[in-house]
Amino acid sequence: MGDPSVVADLAATFTKRRAIMSWSALGKHVCSQVAPVWPLARSIAVNPWWQRRQETIDQVAISEQTLLGTAMLMPADYYRARWQQQIQPEHLARARQLQGSQLSEAELVEALNAAASGATMPSVAQILDSGKKRNTTLPWQTEIVHQLSQFCALWVNYPEQFNGSDSHDALYLAWLDIVRHDRGIELLVGERRVEEQLQQLPRDSEALWQEVAKDLPLNDPHQVEAWLQVVLHDIYGWASVFAQRRWARQLEHSSQVYDELDQLLAIRVAWELICWRLASDNKRQRFIDAWQQLEPRKQLVTEQQQALWVWQRALELSYQDELATQLVSQPMLKGKSKAPELQAVFCIDVRSEPMRRALEAQHESIQTFGFAGFFGLPVDYKISESFIKPQLPGLLAPQYRVTQAKDAEGVAQRTHSWRAASWHRSLESPAGAYGWVEMSGLAKIWKLLERSLWPSPQARIGSEVVRDQTWLIERDGEAATTKELAQLAANALRGMGLTGEFARHVLIVGHSACVTNNPHAASLDCGACGGQSGEVNARVLVQLFNNEDVRERIASVYGITIPAETVFYPALHDTTQQQVSVLGERSLPAELANYLVQANAQAQDEQRQRLPDQPTSSDKALLRRAASWSEVRPEWGLARNASIIFAPREATANYDFAARTFLHSYDAEQDPEGAVLTQLMTAPMVVAHWINMQYYASMVAPVTFGSGNKLLHNVVADGVGVFEGNGGDLRIGLAKQSLHDGKDWYHEPLRLTVVIAAPTDAIDKVIAEQPVVRELVENGWLYLWQWEPAQQQLQERTAKGWSELGARYDLAV
C-alpha cells in the first residue's frame, strides 16, 4: 500500500488542487449567469435574469436581495400607494390564496410598514472602506470600479492598441500591463503599497485563482460563489457587454481564443486579493464574520419578501382581471361580410395596436394582421463594405445578406450619411461637444435656427440611404435562388396567417421611431429587427411577394396562391409620430390612401393623450416633439406592456387594449401539426418576455438594471453604452424618463401574461419539448393562459397543470 504519510500527502494535494480548481470553475459559472446587453446602435430588450430562468423567480429574488441588495419587487411604499386604489381587497384575497400565504389582510397591510433590511454581503474592498473617514482620498470600491471601467472602455474602443489577442489571458494581461504603470491609484486611495502588490500578481489567470483560493478564508463553495457574484456586481454593466460579445461568438459558431467575461471577473478578483493582503487583522475578521451571516441574512430576506410577493401578485391580478373580463365579454366575431380591399401586416409591437384599431375603424373592408416585425427574414443589411446591420432578433443569426446597388446616387447618400454621423458622434462626448462649439462658433447658429424653425428628426445611420431600388439577396456570397426566396416568402405568409383571400392591396408595415439627440434611439425602433428600423425587411419582403417566379413556386410547392391582381406595398409606421406612410413609387388608390390619413389622425390623437404633457392637437405637435434635441420623452416606447395574445384578429378586433398588448395573428385550425405554435412560443413569446422583463427590471432595480437620468448620459466607446456622468460602471437598461412621467410611475412592473387561442394539448406539447418555454412557465417568469374565444373560456397553465380561470375571476365559463 506504500508509506501512509506519502499517501496522505498525495490525498491532501489532490484535495487542495480540486478545491483550487473549483474556484475557477465557480467563477465561470457565475459569469455564465450574466445576461447580454447589446450596443446602443443595436439595442434590444433583454431579461437581465435570463440566464437564471432555470430557478423560480422568487428564488432568484431572494438571492439578488441577499447578496447584492438588488430588488425584484417594488418598495413597500409603491404597493401602499396603490392599496384600495388599483389593488382592491378582492385582489389581495386572491393573491393570498395563490401565494399560499397564511397572513391576514391586516397583517399584509402592516407588513408594508416594516423596515426592509438594507444590508448586503460585502466584498473585501467594501470591508476595507468601512469605518474610515475619507476627506482627501477615494473609497477603494469607487476607485476600483472607475479604473476598471475606464480600462474596459479603452479595450472595446481601441482593440488594436493591445497585444496578445491570441492569448487566453488577453484582457487580464492588458489590464495588468496598464495598471502596473498607473501611479495615481496609490494617491487616490491613500495606500503606498498598491504598486508593490500589483507587481506580485501572477501573469496567468489560473495562477491568480490559486493564490486567491489560498489566501481568502472562504471554504464553503456556496460562499465562494456568492462572494464572486458580489464582486462581479460592481462592474455588472461591463460584464453584460462582454456577455453579449460571448453570445455573438457562440451564435456565429466562431472560434473563441479568449473569453473577456471570465477574465473581467479575474481582474476584479485580483483587486480583492490586493485588498485582502493590505487589510488589517481586524478588517479580515470583519469580512469573515460578515460571510458567516450569509444563511441568517438569506432567511431574513425570505421572510420579508413573502408579504411583498403577495402584494406583487395582487397588483398583477388587478390588470389580469380587466384583461380576462375583456376576453370573455363577447364571442368571437365571424369573418367580415365584405371581402377585404386593403390588408395591412403590422409588427406585434404594442404601439401598433392603436394604429391597427384606427385603420380598421375606417371601413369594414380593411383587415390587419400582427407578425414579428422582421417578418421572418433572417437577414442583415450591408450598407457599405465596413458597415453591416442585423435586421433580426438577437436570438437568431442572419442567414442572408441584402444590399442595394453602388451607383453614384447611393455613394453620395452614404458619404453624406457618414459625415453627418461623424458630426453627431463628435458631440456625444463632453470634451468633443465643447471642442466643436469652440471651433465652429457662430457658424453653427444657422443650423440651430434651422432646426428650431423647420424641425426634422435625426435619421438613424443607414436608414437614410435606403432607396426605391431592387434588393440583392445573397447567401454565403451567392445570389439566393428562387427556391430559397419562395421558402422565405411562404414561411412569412404562413407565420402571419395570410394564406388565402388576399386583398387587392396589401401593406407590409415595418416600424421605426424618429427622434433627435437620443443615444438610446434604437430602443424605440423594432426589437424584432435587432433595434433597427423595419423598413428594410418590409421592402425586401414586398419584393419577394411581387416577384412572379416566387409566386409561381409558392403556389406549386406550398399551395398558397396570390391572385395576379394583388399588389404588395412596403410601408413604415413611425411610432413617435403615430403615422403610417407607404414607401416606394407605387401609391394606394385615393380612397384607401385617405383611409390611411384618417387612421393616422385618430392614432395621433390617442398618442397625444397618452403623453405626459398632452401636446396640442396640431398635426405638427408630435413632429416637433420628435425633432426636439431637448425632449427626454419623445414617446413612451413599450412602457406599460403587460400581455401578448396569439389569436385570430377576429377574436380581438373589437377590443381596446390601450397599447399594452402585443397582438400576433394565429389560427390554430391552420396549424394542425403545431409547427407555427412552436415558433410563436419559442421566438415572439420569448422576445415579448425579454421586453417585459427589461421594463420590469429597470423599474424594480434601477441602480443595477436602469440607466439613470438621461440628462447625465455620456456615450462610451463609440456607442457600446453610456456612463451616467463621466465614470463609474456602464449603465444598462432604461432611463427613469422612460418609466416615470415626472410626477409618478407611468409603467407598471407586471410579469407578462401570455394568451394563446390553441388547444391545451398543443400548448402542452410545446412546453414538454422546449425547455426554455417550460422554465418560463413553470418557474413563474410569466403567466400562460389558454383561450377559447368561441366558448368565452380561459384556463391557466402553471407548474401544477391547468386550472379554469372562470371561478377565480367570477367569469362565465
Mean pLDDT across the chain, nearest whole number?
89
Position 4 scores a pLDDT of 45
CA-CA-CA-CA torsion for 714, 717, 721, 722, nearest 10 degrees?
A: -20
Q: In angstroms, how far apart are the furthest CA atoms of the chain? A: 99
CB 377 within 8 A of CB 540: yes
Spatial separation of the C-alpha atoms in residues 813 and 810, rounded to whole Å: 9
Which one has a higher pLDDT value, 750 or 248? 750
Position 812 scores a pLDDT of 39
CB 40 within 8 A of CB 719: yes
Residue 11 backbone class (left: φ over 0; alpha: ψ -120 to 50; beta: rest): alpha
Q: What is the DSSP letter of 37?
A: -
Position 257 scores a pLDDT of 62
One-letter amino acid at 581 equals S
Q: Which residues are annotated as a binding site?
A: 347, 349, 511, 526
Spatial separation of the C-alpha atoms in residues 226 and 121, rounded to whole Å: 9
Contacts of 596 (CB under 8 A, 6+ apart): 359, 580, 582, 588
Spatial separation of the C-alpha atoms in residues 213 and 665, rounded to whole Å: 55
pLDDT confidence tier of residue 116, bands split at 50, 70 and 90: confident
Of the listed ranges 277-286, 414-423, 658-667, the one predicted with least confidence: 414-423
Bridge partners of residue 344, in order along the sequence:
368, 507
DSSP line for 600-648: HHHHHHHHHHHSTT---S-TTHHHHHHH-TT-S-S--TTTT--EEEEE-
In the chain, the N- to C-terminal Cα span, in Å, equals: 76
Position 406 scores a pLDDT of 75
* Whole-structure pTM value: 0.92
Position 204 scores a pLDDT of 93
The CA distances from residue 387 to 381, 403, 520, in Å, are 9, 11, 19
Query: Under DSSP, is residue 144 helix (H, G, I), strand (E, B) or coil?
Result: helix
DSSP line for 401-460: EEE----HHHHHHHHHHHHHHHHHHHTSSHHHHHHHHHHHGGGGHHHHHHHHHS--PBPP
Q: Which residues are annotated as a binding site for Zn(2+)?
A: 347, 349, 511, 526
Taking 60 as the threshold, does the pLDDT of residue 811 lie above it?
Answer: no
The per-residue pLDDT for range 167-191, each reduced to its tens digit, is: 789 999 999 999 999 889 989 988 8
State the average pLDDT over residues 459-482: 85
Please give the backbone phi and psi of residue 803, each rounded to the nearest 5 degrees, phi first: -145, 145
Share of the chain above pLDDT 90, in %: 75
Position 794 scores a pLDDT of 96
The CA distances from residue 504 to 34, 365, 499, 544, in Å, are 49, 11, 14, 17
Residue 637 backbone class (left: φ over 0; alpha: ψ -120 to 50; beta: rest): left
Contacts of 1 (CB under 8 A, 6+ apart): 7
Position 438 scores a pLDDT of 57
Residue with cell 426554455: 772
The per-residue pLDDT for range 686-736, each reduced to its tens digit, is: 999 999 999 999 999 999 999 999 999 999 998 999 999 988 999 999 999
Taking 80 as the threshold, does the pLDDT of residue 133 lie above it?
Answer: no
State the average pLDDT over residues 411-430: 53
Position 362 scores a pLDDT of 97
For residue 480, give the C-alpha cell: 439566393
Position 333 scores a pLDDT of 66
Q: Dihedral sign, CA of 18, 20, 24, 27?
A: positive
Spatial separation of the C-alpha atoms in residues 746 and 641, rounded to whole Å: 11
Position 415 scores a pLDDT of 56
Contacts of 434 (CB under 8 A, 6+ apart): none
Contacts of 446 (CB under 8 A, 6+ apart): none
Position 736 scores a pLDDT of 97
Position 456 scores a pLDDT of 73
Q: In Å, how far from its chain's centre is CA 484?
A: 31
Convert 710-720 to b/e letters by CB count within 10 Å (16 or more is b): beebbbbbebb
**Residue 510, class by beta-carbon neighbours within 10 Å (0-12 exposed, 13-18 middle, 19+ buried)?**
buried
Spatial separation of the C-alpha atoms in residues 64 and 277, rounded to whole Å: 28
CA-CA-CA-CA torsion for 223, 227, 228, 234, nearest 10 degrees?
A: 160
Spatial separation of the C-alpha atoms in residues 395 and 687, rounded to whole Å: 8
Position 414 scores a pLDDT of 57
Residue with cell 444590508: 119
Q: Which of 430, 27, 84, 417 is nearest to 231 (CA)?
A: 27
CB 399 within 8 A of CB 472: no
Q: What is the DSSP letter of 176?
A: H
For residue 65, give the C-alpha cell: 436581495
Q: Which of 335, 351, 334 is nearest to 663 (CA)?
A: 351
Which one has a higher pLDDT value, 166 or 238? 238
The per-residue pLDDT for range 7-61, each reduced to its tens digit, is: 445 445 444 444 444 899 999 999 999 999 999 999 999 999 999 999 999 999 9
